[in-house]
Amino acid sequence: MKRKITLKDIARELDVSISTVSKALKNSEEISRDTKEKVQAFARLYNYRPNNIAISLKNKRTKNIGVILPDIVHHFFTTVFHGIEKYANARGYNVIACISDESFDKEVINMEMLANGSIDGFIMALSAGTQLKNDYNHLRQVTDQGIPLVLFDRVTDEVACDKVVINDEEAAYLAVKKMINSGRKRIALLTSEAHFNVSEKRAEGYYRALREHSLPVDEELVLVLPHMYHEENLSEGFFRRTNPDAVLCVNEIYAVRSMRHLQSQGKRIPQDVAVIGFTDGILSRYSIPSLTSIAQHGELMGETAARLLVDRIEADFRDMDEPEYITEVIKASIIDRESTD
């Protein structure tokens, strides 16, 4: 077991000073060809690599970025993460990932853990708990210290920072409009509890589309489901009772479950009922019938967030005092599949 070698080791071995070794390895003009070759050969032989931690301490930058996600079972967050990771790596950054599990407390703990020097900046989507509690002091604490922060998807106006969102309202509007244009009249909305910013926005788009096409707004046709989809049968009675000819769901799990219940009630999709779901994930692609869905372009969102963050991290400190924060809007798009006509 050959232990990790340091500048000091090389210096001792070659009987030169540490600073000479350091310079030689950087190919400094100051050092004689002879010495440089000797040092470099030795370093190569023993596979010398500078210690990241020491460099971090010296430079006060870690080349790590902290990512805090509410969960990782939702395909959407997975793709965002991938986008972040890809972009960050390309610019020489590592990604430290933490999962808040939708809990306020875990989010706070994770942020504090990372904020003490481990990372140069944060990318995160707010946990359900945080949105419910409406407490953003831990975020402000971070930004107050001058640590750059980028929020995506689940954002808040309460914190001044860069943001990346999708046009949820517009996407829902277009989806409903699409179904109206193909002749649907009784369009149901399956949404989740309202403290999720995004659900709210999607509901707004739903209502706007109805209004603009002079369809009656029937609150009976709106079903609010709990965020965790434990109970299998919640929506079964709903469909029997309300008998819709189209359904918009705020995620693909609701959508697939809806199709399942509708089919078991003898409905054909899309002939009798059209279904569209948010999140163009694996379920949408492989369900039977495959699901027309609203792609949120998670990977692009991740890349965008990472770009904003790295730019901010590497921004000149001259113009640090009064930054103009940016909110980038990613356009969602509808992917047509078999569940609509």
For a second copy, the binding residues (CB under 8 A) are 1-4, 47, 49-54, 56-57, 62, 64, 72-73, 75, 78-79, 81-82, 85-86, 89, 94-99, 110, 112-118, 141, 144-146, 253, 256-257, 259-260, 263, 282-283, 286-288
Among a second copy, DNA, none, partner that 16 touches (CB below 5 to 8 angstroms by kind):
DNA
Contacts of 329 (CB under 8 A, 6+ apart): 164, 165, 166, 167
CA distance linking residue 125 with residue 140, whole number of Å: 15
Q: Is 26 in the site for DNA (CB under 7 A)?
A: yes
Contacts of 131 (CB under 8 A, 6+ apart): 154, 156, 195, 196, 197
* Shortest spacing between CB 54 and a second copy, in angstroms: 6
Strand partners, 192: 225
Nearest to 68 by CA among 135, 130, 117: 130
Question: Which is nearer to DNA, 57 or 315 (by Cβ)?
Answer: 57
Q: For the CB of residue 37, give the shortest distance to DNA in the complex, in Å.
A: 10
Q: How far is the CB of 22 from DNA (least distance, A)?
A: 4
Closer to DNA by CB, 34 or 157: give it: 34
Site track 5-24 with DNA (rule: CB under 7 A), x = hit: -xxx------xxxxxx-xx-
Please report the DSSP string for 257-291 in residue order: HHHHHHHHTT--TTTT-EEEEES--HHHHHSSSPP
Q: How many C-beta atoms surround the C-beta of residue 180 within 10 A?
A: 18
Residues 29-68, interacting with DNA (CB under 7 A): 29-35, 49-51, 54-55, 57-58, 60
Q: How far is the CB of 178 from a second copy (least distance, A)?
A: 23
